[in-house]
């Protein structure tokens, strides 16, 4: 499992492009989360994919070829904080409720809804922590669950920032040339139109 | 002054240097067609939108500029899909403009509405839909930048009918491309560079593998100086043909599945491969486990995602091929590699005796003879556009190209039907060039409607149909791998000469070896398009052949003596 962080343009269709590309590479997406960043024009994705180191390299390299992807990086193996959030509706009665409250304390979860027959627990943490809570809740009867998928951030000074507007872009660093070239110059680089 | 969106499309394309548009009108693009009529743009009416994209592709490949295709919404747009995918696989800069139903109708399954940006997402470098007149100019300008820069590719701009009909002022400065910022290209990797230099200078049996990227990057001259300094033999991919002169002693020729035996042997026995602007396609490498096992590998490539994709390399130089070669040239020690070159000459001698050109004339007409005579008669100076199949491989083996952009063919996607329309586009790009279409009887029937385009545009092409009455390459696979069970490969073709006549194109049929040269001469003398129907040996195969999945040195060689079949399909 590899965790990839990507900065993308915050506009329609980008999620589709990213998901479609990973599908085309025949790589399974375990989770994909997307949300706005402090800059409203840029969104941040955390993509967890079933692949190896080489597959992750290919995913990030291919993602960065998409015009709307500003940066994509595999952060697996780097010191990171990875968090998942889950809402779990578990069946609860007079008798089981105190036991559930004990578990909530142990797992540092929160009770966000109480009804005569059930509780909704909110828990955030690593995938492993949520999975463990889920395991111990099963005997009580898990009625429903919603999970967000992972969001991830590298720790400390290891900062992942989107490239600034006006940054060098390899998309437009081409020699400017008239289009089309006069006659056939057999060794002219690809003519870039004066745009 | 206010312009309509349609007028802005024409004005923007004109300012971008576009002269020719290849397209087909329809409801959702009608406003733009009305504006084309008032503009200096020359519109070429195709007979099928697939042809329009192939023409734009052929135009782009021949000129080195961007080719433009235009079509209406719905079926017009979906017909473009094959041509777009062809351009994508071969890194060809094509901009497709499609009409779309009005923005208020989007998503309503309106007449001729189709989600063409969704359909073409995986086969374009980029695409987008434009719903506002104000966004048209910038979108088209961005499309041109994206199509032509870095590793080129097709871009599709889908413009709604109301955006074409609306009006606004065109402010050129205010509509400059604003592409999302990217991080700076990975800084020059000095470590990889030094390792590469060390490998080059210590190699005893180096081979340079030249791909399509060499001519896209304009690195033909740099490559020439690089290999002459180190006396490094050059093998080429199918699309790399022309990047190094075929008649040069350092040239090995095409490598891979139908590469000559000496080329693949040289690759397999090399101790260093220097791959430039190529992507180690499976048709080039054969079985990856045994591919050039003794060789270290250097990969010079602009697309980072190609590095270590198929073949693990020892040094990757990510960047422009021309820049990288220019950096390397002064670091390469002058070497003669005389032992290695002598060994390769020996391998060549072994193959020559099996060459069909060296066998006695039995009166049978082989495709190889046709191509070889065409090469001799045109002195290798023609621009050849080949289709896909056996004739494509024979063309690559027997027409010796000495200059870049003189062979245009569909490599990556292997699109049958590509040649005729692509040649029309190429002729518009290079009107003074003699353009030959080399095409099989199968592929020709896929897009032969474009003969009408030739006649309407009064252009001068020479069409050589290599007609063996079979889908030859598939038949060859059936012969080798399916016990000669020829399922769905024998093919009845129309009388191509009569058909050409119906279109108003002069034609000749040639069934004998003596007839080839005079027919080619007569065709060349004509100032109009001429179609030559060469009736060749029916069950000839392309040799050598590395079966799919086999190692590069496990070739099927031409059997001797020849087994001959009828020449009359």
d(CA B468, CA B363): 16
- pLDDT one-digit tens code per residue, A129-164: 999 999 999 999 999 999 999 999 999 999 898 887
Contacts of A170 in chain B (CB under 8 A): 149-150, 182, 184-185
Q: What pLDDT is attached to residue B558?
A: 82
d(CA B555, CA B544): 6
> Computed from CA positions of residues B136, B140, B146, B149, in that sequence, does the dihedral angle turn out positive or negative?
negative
Local confidence band at B1 (pLDDT 50, 70, 90 cut-offs): confident
Local confidence band at B358 (pLDDT 50, 70, 90 cut-offs): confident
Helix (H, G, I), strand (E, B) or coil at A11: coil
Write the secondary structure of B151-215 as one string of H (helix), E (strand) and C (coil): CCCCEEEEEEHHHHHCEEECCCHHHCCCCCCCCCCCCCCHHHHHHHHHHHHHCCCEEEEECHHHH
Looking at the predicted structure, is the pLDDT value of residue B102 above 90?
yes
| B180/A70 Cβ within 8 A | yes
Which two tokens mark B490? 């024998």
d(CA B428, CA B436): 13
Parallel, antiparallel or unpaired: strands A42-50 and A2-9: antiparallel
Q: What pLDDT is attached to residue B362?
A: 79
Contacts of A179 in chain B (CB under 8 A): 16-18, 65-66
DSSP state of B10: H
d(CA B508, CA B523): 9
Point out the residue among A16, A54, A181 whose CB comes nearest to the CB of B64.
A181
Share of chain B above pLDDT 90, in %: 91
Q: Which residue is associated with the tokens 């030739």?
A: B454
Local confidence band at B361 (pLDDT 50, 70, 90 cut-offs): confident
Q: Work out the mean pLDDT of chain B and round it to a whole number.
A: 94
Considering only CA atoms, which of B412, B455, B458, B418 is closest in space to residue B438? Answer: B418
d(CA B314, CA A151): 35
- pLDDT one-digit tens code per residue, B245-267: 999 999 999 999 999 999 999 99
- At residue B274, what are phi and psi to the nearest 5 degrees? -110, 105
Contacts of B176 in chain A (CB under 8 A): 195
For residue A56, the distance in angstroms to the closest alpha carbon of chain B comes to 11
Q: Are B204 and B271 in contact (CB under 8 A)?
A: yes
- pLDDT one-digit tens code per residue, A4-33: 999 999 998 999 999 999 999 999 999 999
Point out the residue among A62, A171, A180 whose CB comes nearest to the CB of B64.
A180
Q: What is the mean pLDDT of residues B134-158?
A: 96
Contacts of B16 in chain A (CB under 8 A): 179, 193-195
Looking at the predicted structure, is the pLDDT value of residue A190 above 50?
no
Give the number of beta-carbon pairs within 8 Å between A and B: 154
Considering only CA atoms, which of A15, A74, A17, A85 is closest in space to residue A48? Answer: A74
Interface check for A161 against chain B (CB to CB < 8 A): the answer is no
Helix (H, G, I), strand (E, B) or coil at A146: strand
Burial class (CB in 10 A: 0-12, 13-18, 19+), B544: buried
For residue A189, the distance in angstroms to the closest alpha carbon of chain B comes to 4
Local confidence band at A178 (pLDDT 50, 70, 90 cut-offs): very low
Local confidence band at B553 (pLDDT 50, 70, 90 cut-offs): confident
Q: Which residue is associated with the tokens 């490969």?
A: B489
Q: Which of residues 134-163 of B touch A (CB under 8 A)?
A: 141-142, 144-146, 148-152
Considering only CA atoms, which of B42, B11, B30 is closest in space to residue B458? Answer: B42
Helix (H, G, I), strand (E, B) or coil at B217: coil
Helix (H, G, I), strand (E, B) or coil at A137: helix
Looking at the predicted structure, is the pLDDT value of residue A176 above 60?
no
Looking at the predicted structure, is the pLDDT value of residue A182 above 50?
no
Q: For the whole model, what pTM was predicted?
A: 0.93
E strands in B73-134: 94-100, 126-130
Point out the residue among B122, B142, B405 whose CB comes nearest to the CB of A20.
B122
Q: What pLDDT is attached to residue B189?
A: 85
Q: What pLDDT is attached to residue B357?
A: 76
The DSSP element (H or E) to which A44 belongs, if any, is: strand A42-50
Helix (H, G, I), strand (E, B) or coil at B134: helix
Q: Which of residues 30-49 of B touch A (CB under 8 A)?
A: none
DSSP state of A188: P
Q: Which residue is associated with the tokens 């621009």?
A: B383
Q: Are B506 and B332 in contact (CB under 8 A)?
A: no
Q: Which one is catalytic: B7, B11, B49, B545?
A: B49
Cross-strand partners of B470? B490
- Beta-carbon contacts of residue B484 (< 8 Å; ≥ 6 apart): B478
Using CA atoms of B174, B177, B181, B187 in order, give the dihedral in degrees to the nearest 10: -130
Share of chain B above pLDDT 70, in %: 97
- Residue by residue, DSSP assigns B435-463 as EEEEEEHHHHHHHGGGHHHHHHHT---EE
Q: What is the mean pLDDT of residues B87-110?
A: 97
- pLDDT one-digit tens code per residue, A86-136: 999 999 999 999 999 999 999 999 999 999 999 999 999 999 999 999 999
Q: Which residue is associated with the tokens 């002729």?
A: B427
- pLDDT one-digit tens code per residue, B406-426: 999 999 999 999 999 999 999
| A172/B125 Cβ within 8 A | no
Q: Which of residues 67-86 of A touch B (CB under 8 A)?
A: 67-68, 70-71
Local confidence band at B182 (pLDDT 50, 70, 90 cut-offs): confident
Burial class (CB in 10 A: 0-12, 13-18, 19+), B254: buried
Active site residue B49: yes
Cross-strand partners of B440? B466
Looking at the predicted structure, is the pLDDT value of residue B327 above 60?
yes
Length in residues, chain B? 569
For residue B118, the distance in angstroms to the closest alpha carbon of chain A comes to 9
Which two tokens mark B341? 């070159």
Looking at the predicted structure, is the pLDDT value of residue A173 above 60?
no
d(CA B142, CA B157): 10
Contacts of A172 in chain B (CB under 8 A): 145, 149, 177, 179
Which two tokens mark A111? 């009770």
Q: What pLDDT is attached to residue B348?
A: 87
Contacts of A191 in chain B (CB under 8 A): 63-66, 148
Query: CA-CA distances (angstroms) from residue B140 to A33, A122, A182, B81, B258?
Result: 32, 48, 22, 19, 40
Active site residue B161: yes
Which two tokens mark B459? 């252009």
Could you give the ipTM of this predicted complex?
0.89
Cross-strand partners of A152? A82
- Residue by residue, DSSP assigns A89-133 as EEE--TTTHHHHHHHHHHHT-EEEEE-SSEEEEEEEE-HHHHHHH
Interface check for A19 against chain B (CB to CB < 8 A): the answer is no
Local confidence band at A170 (pLDDT 50, 70, 90 cut-offs): very low
- Residue by residue, DSSP assigns B468-520 as -SB-HHHHHHHHHHSTT---S-B-----HHHHHHHHT-EEEEE-SHHHHHHHH
d(CA B461, CA B382): 11
Point out the residue among A20, A172, A195 whose CB comes nearest to the CB of B121.
A20
Q: What pLDDT is attached to residue A164?
A: 77
- Residue by residue, DSSP assigns B366-425 as -HHHHHHHHHHHTTT-SEEEE-SSHHHHHHHHHS---STT-EEE--SS--TT-HHHHHHH
Helix (H, G, I), strand (E, B) or coil at B253: strand
Q: Which of residues 394-413 of B touch A (CB under 8 A)?
A: 403-405
The DSSP element (H or E) to which A45 belongs, if any, is: strand A42-50
d(CA B415, CA B375): 24
Q: Which residue in chain B is spatially nearest to A23 when comparing CA positions?
A: B122
Least confident of B338-347, B350-359, B444-453, B514-523: B350-359
Looking at the predicted structure, is the pLDDT value of residue B550 above 70?
yes
Interface check for A52 against chain B (CB to CB < 8 A): the answer is no
Q: Which residue in chain B is spatially nearest to A7 when comparing CA positions?
A: B182
- Distance between alpha carbon B359 and the CA centroid of its chain, in Å? 31
- Beta-carbon contacts of residue B314 (< 8 Å; ≥ 6 apart): B195, B199, B296, B297, B298
DSSP state of A9: E
Considering only CA atoms, which of B454, B488, B422, B521 is closest in space to residue B94? Answer: B422
- pLDDT one-digit tens code per residue, A48-97: 999 999 999 999 999 999 999 999 999 999 999 999 999 999 999 999 99
């Amino acid at each position: 499992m590899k965790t990839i962080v990507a900065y993308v343009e915050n506009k329609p269709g980008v999620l589709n492009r990213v998901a479609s590309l990973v599908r085309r590479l025949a790589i399974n997406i375990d989770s994909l989360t997307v949300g706005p960043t402090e800059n409203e024009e840029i969104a941040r994705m955390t993509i967890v994919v079933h692949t190896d180191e080489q597959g992750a390299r290919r995913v990030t390299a291919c993602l960065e070829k998409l015009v709307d992807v500003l940066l994509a990086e595999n952060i697996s193996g780097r010191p990171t904080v990875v968090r998942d959030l889950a809402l779990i509706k578990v069946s609860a009665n007079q008798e089981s409720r105190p036991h559930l409250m004990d578990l909530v304390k142990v797992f540092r979860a929160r009770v966000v809804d109480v009804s005569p027959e059930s509780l909704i627990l909110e828990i955030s943490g690593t995938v492993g922590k949520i999975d463990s809570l889920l395991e111990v809740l099963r005997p009580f009867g898990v009625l429903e669950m919603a999970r967000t998928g992972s969001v991830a951030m590298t720790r400390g000074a290891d900062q992942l920032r989107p490239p600034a507007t006006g940054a060098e872009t390899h998309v437009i660093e081409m020699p400017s040339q008239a289009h089309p070239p006069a006659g056939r110059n057999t060794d002219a680089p690809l003519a870039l139109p004066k745009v | 002054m206010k312009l309509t969106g349609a007028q802005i499309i024409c004005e923007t394309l004109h300012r971008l240097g576009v002269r020719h548009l290849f397209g087909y009108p329809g409801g959702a693009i009608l406003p733009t067609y009305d504006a084309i009529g008032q503009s200096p743009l020359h519109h070429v009416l195709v007979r099928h939108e697939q042809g329009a994209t192939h023409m734009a592709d052929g135009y782009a490949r021949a000129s080195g500029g961007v080719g433009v295709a235009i079509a209406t919404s719905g079926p017009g747009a979906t017909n473009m899909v094959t041509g777009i995918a062809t351009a994508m696989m071969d890194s060809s800069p094509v901009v497709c403009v499609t009409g779309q139903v009005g923005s208020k109708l989007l998503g309503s399954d309106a007449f001729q509405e189709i989600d063409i940006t969704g359909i073409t997402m995986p086969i374009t470098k980029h695409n987008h839909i434009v719903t506002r007149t104000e966004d048209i100019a910038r979108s088209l300008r961005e499309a041109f930048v994206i199509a032509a820069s870095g590793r080129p590719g097709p871009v599709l701009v889908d413009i709604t009918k109301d955006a074409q009909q609306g009006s606004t002022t065109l402010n050129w400065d205010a509509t400059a491309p604003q592409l999302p910022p990217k991080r700076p290209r990975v800084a020059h990797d000095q470590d990889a560079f030094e390792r590469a230099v060390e490998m080059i200078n210590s190699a005893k049996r180096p081979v340079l593998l030249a791909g399509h990227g060499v001519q896209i990057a304009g690195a033909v001259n740099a490559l020439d100086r690089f290999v002459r300094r180190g006396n490094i033999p050059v093998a080429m991919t199918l699309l790399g043909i022309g990047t190094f002169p075929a008649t040069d002693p350092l040239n090995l020729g095409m490598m891979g599945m139908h590469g000559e035996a000496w080329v693949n042997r040289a690759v397999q026995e090399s101790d260093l491969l220097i791959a430039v602007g190529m992507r180690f396609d499976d048709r080039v490498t054969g079985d990856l486990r045994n591919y050039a096992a003794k060789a270290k590998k250097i990969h010079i490539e602009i697309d980072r995602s190609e590095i270590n994709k198929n073949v693990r390399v020892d040094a990757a130089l990510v960047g422009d091929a021309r820049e990288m070669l220019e950096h390397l040239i002064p670091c390469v020690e002058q070497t003669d590699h005389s032992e290695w070159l002598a060994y390769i000459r020996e391998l060549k001698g072994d193959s020559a005796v099996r060459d069909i050109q060296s066998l006695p004339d039995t009166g049978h007409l082989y495709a190889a003879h046709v191509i070889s005579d065409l090469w001799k008669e045109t002195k290798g100076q023609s621009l050849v556009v080949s289709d896909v199949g056996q004739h494509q491989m024979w063309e690559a083996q027997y027409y010796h190209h000495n200059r870049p952009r003189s062979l245009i063919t569909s490599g990556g996607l292997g699109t049958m039907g590509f040649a005729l329309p692509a040649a029309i586009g190429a002729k518009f790009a290079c009107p003074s060039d003699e353009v030959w279409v080399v095409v099989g009887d199968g592929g020709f029937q896929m897009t032969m409607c474009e003969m009408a385009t030739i006649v309407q545009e009064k252009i001068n092409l020479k069409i050589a149909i290599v007609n063996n009455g079979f889908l030859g390459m598939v038949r060859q696979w059936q012969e080798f791998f399916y016990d000669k069970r020829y399922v769905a490969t024998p093919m009845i073709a129309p009388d191509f000469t009569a058909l050409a006549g119906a279109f108003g194109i002069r034609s000749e049929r040639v069934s004998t070896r003596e007839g080839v040269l005079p027919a080619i001469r007569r065709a060349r003398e004509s100032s109009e398009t001429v179609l030559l129907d060469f009736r060749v040996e029916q069950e000839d195969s392309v040799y050598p052949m590395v079966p799919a999945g086999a190692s590069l040195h496990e070739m099927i060689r031409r059997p001797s003596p020849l087994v001959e079949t009828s020449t009359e399909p």
